[in-house]
Structure 1
Amino acid sequence: MSEFLTADSVAPPAPGAEDYLALDFVNSAIALPGGQFIDLLGTPAATNQWLTERGLAPADAGVREMCATQLRSLREHVRGLFAARVAGLPALPTAVSAVNDALSRAPTAALLYWDEKNGPYRAAPCPTNEILDRALAALAANAADLLTGPDADRLTACGSTPCNRYLLRHGRRHWCSIRCGDRARAARAYARRTQSKAD
């Protein structure tokens, strides 16, 4: 498969991903039928593309493997927090610490600058070496907002094996896509047919 896959070419965005970047983030590692796995953050170039498409980094950010590794690590911690929330279990302290660490990486206040021609203005500093910190902070903040906000009760894991994506449940829907829903219904129908033949 191409190195530059997009999430949409593999599966459409999961319900809620348009409102919560954190859902899109945790769903950037996609398990597919037949034991296939696609990681949209699998290489530095793919990670740079993913960040750029979401407005978290410029196209020429030059993401290196160390940066991609840090993003993949945060993704796994956020996935762990989502899994704990969905299962109603306590979160691992290391996952909470990783999110809090990411939250504290970027300054929250726009600083005061003074331009000789135009006078004072405020802007958030963002030198090149802070691009990753800002991306990590934005993703962590969005995950924390989802986990602590009113939509947290709608957070669920896709109910279709082997899919590993998360979504915000709408009504009774427990699948991240039509494809996963069809796969789950087909599996249930097959199980009913084989059960009735066995009886």
Structure 2
Amino acid sequence: MRTMSETRAAEFVPTPAPGAEDHLALDFVNSAMALPGGQFVDLLGTPAAANRWLTERGLAPADAGVRETCAAQLRSLREDIRALFAAHVGGLPAPPTALSAVNDALSRAPTAALLHWDAKNGPHRVTPHPTDEILDHALAALAANAADLLTGPDAGRLTDCGSAPCNRYLLRHGRRHWCSTRCGDRARAARAYARRTRPESG
């Protein structure tokens, strides 16, 4: 499978899949896309691309300086969440390593606002968020959103795109099983071709 350059990849990125605008975890999992012709787009494929993806979603400042080790952690969590989505859609048990990885990410960011006391403000509470923990907060936010989706009211609507080779996930609306108009058109064309080329019985 060939990976596109960042410039060309941006031209092929389809609109967000149904549900991705409401569930960040769907958008996150769909940041790696298989396209027709053996092409592959990874919006987290480089540190700069990962930084841009996080910034566009309010998870990191533009000058966060994401390094390859951080981008690799993001890609790893993405695959773990994808494995949980696949298990849920397929009615299978959760892979233990994926479940452990998501729970580990959930525990990375402090949730309690700590008590601070200074001359200017007196006693007050602040949730710690030092710049060196930006990645931990991003991973925790993505893992929390995935957990909320899998345990929330939309969990039953989670499905994978029904148009090969697409590997994106979406929230089903009615009978729609495609993540985009492009995938829907491709699936309908494939069905029409199959009907035309099917040998007649008898």
The alpha carbon displacement at 1:125 in A equals 1.1
Match of 1:94 among 73, 94, 97: 97
Matched, 1:15 2:21: no
Q: Cα gap change, 1:5/1:96 in structure 2, threshold over 3 Å: closer, same or farther?
A: farther
Give percent identity, aligned residues only: 81
RMSD over equivalenced CA pairs, Å: 1.8
**Correspondence for 1:63:** 66
Q: Tell me whether 121-130 or 82-91 shows the greater mean CA deviation.
A: 121-130
Residues 115-194 of structure 1: matches in 2 within 5 Å? 115-194=118-197
Identify unmatched segments of 5+ residues in structure 2.
none
Deviations 1:102-126 (A, max 9, x none): 0000001122223422323322111
The answer to whether the 8 Å contact 2:31/2:42 transfers is yes
The alpha carbon displacement at 1:167 in A equals 0.2
The one-letter code matched in structure 2 to 1:76 is: E
The alpha carbon displacement at 1:196 in A equals 5.0
| Off by >6 Å, runs of 4+ in structure 1 | 5-8
The answer to whether the 8 Å contact 1:102/1:140 transfers is yes
Q: What is the TM-score when the length of structure 1 is the normalising length?
A: 0.94
- Tell me, in whole angstroms, the C-alpha distance in 2 between the residues paired with 1:60 and 1:168: 33
The answer to whether the 8 Å contact 1:7/1:13 transfers is no
**Correspondence for 2:81:** 78
- Tell me, in whole angstroms, the C-alpha distance in 1 between the residues paired with 2:50 and 2:36: 23
What is the total number of aligned residue pairs between the two structures? 199
The answer to whether the 8 Å contact 1:158/1:164 transfers is yes
Q: What is the TM-score when the length of structure 2 is the normalising length?
A: 0.93
Identify unmatched segments of 5+ residues in structure 1.
none
Deviations 1:138-190 (A, max 9, x none): 00000000011111110000000000000000000000001100000000001
